[in-house]
Amino acid sequence: MTAESESTHGKGESMQKTALIAGGAKGIGREVGLRLGERSWAVALCYRKSRAEAEATALAIEERGGRALAVHADVSTPEVCAALVRKVLDWQGRIDALIHCAGPYHRVDVLEETPTGWREMFANNLDSFFYLARLVAPVMVKQESGRIVAFSMANADRLMAQTQLTAHYLAKVGVLGLVRSLAKALAKHEITVNAVSPGFIDSGSVDPAELHGLVKAIPAGRIGSLADAVNAVLYFLSDEASYVTGTSLHVSGGWGI
């Protein structure tokens, strides 16, 4: 795939804060974009398949007072990531935040996993984060400021056996390691790098009946909401979190700890 602009909305100034959200058409990424739109940010969101949802999200961001750019991009490939970042810079001239929400998963027994399935989980969850982070980092260094937020899992730091989610889980373990490495390398440039590590969030990607059946395993006694996850992202983007870097914030109601 190639990266190409699908829509541009709004008439914001070039110096307004700009966020690049990978996987911003639906779910948590979409809600982050909407909340940033309310704060008058410019939001570039990319998608692989969800063009209609991306277009709707871009329009909703504009309606909330922000500026929006929807880009078709498969961020599992480095060339497309490079084209995506160039497009955002051509559009706004800066990138203040990278929020990496891209992260498909599949359930398959580890002994039945295929090389293709394995590669897809790492390419979309971990590789894409590395490709985008290495591209936005020089931009943020030049700006002498920036925020990078990625998504892991609430139990990834425990290195548990996950026989049905092995590739996805190990990719999320890798995200935590990469977050810490990037945080240490970029701290002197006033750039923070952190992870949000959710448990079960009602993001619309899992059947409600299945989620309901999981409640008994959650100490808080409820499924997490989109707002729970989004508020964690907004904290990492805030001035209050300027000295917080290299960390993983569990948003799980006690599950996975």
Catalytic residue list: 169
CA distance 47 to 25: 6
CB atoms within 10 A of CB 246: 17
CA distance 191 to 130: 16
Instruction: Characterize the bridge pairing of strands 97-100 and 18-22.
Output: parallel
Q: Phi, psi (5° rounding) for residue 99?
A: -120, 110
CA distance 119 to 32: 28
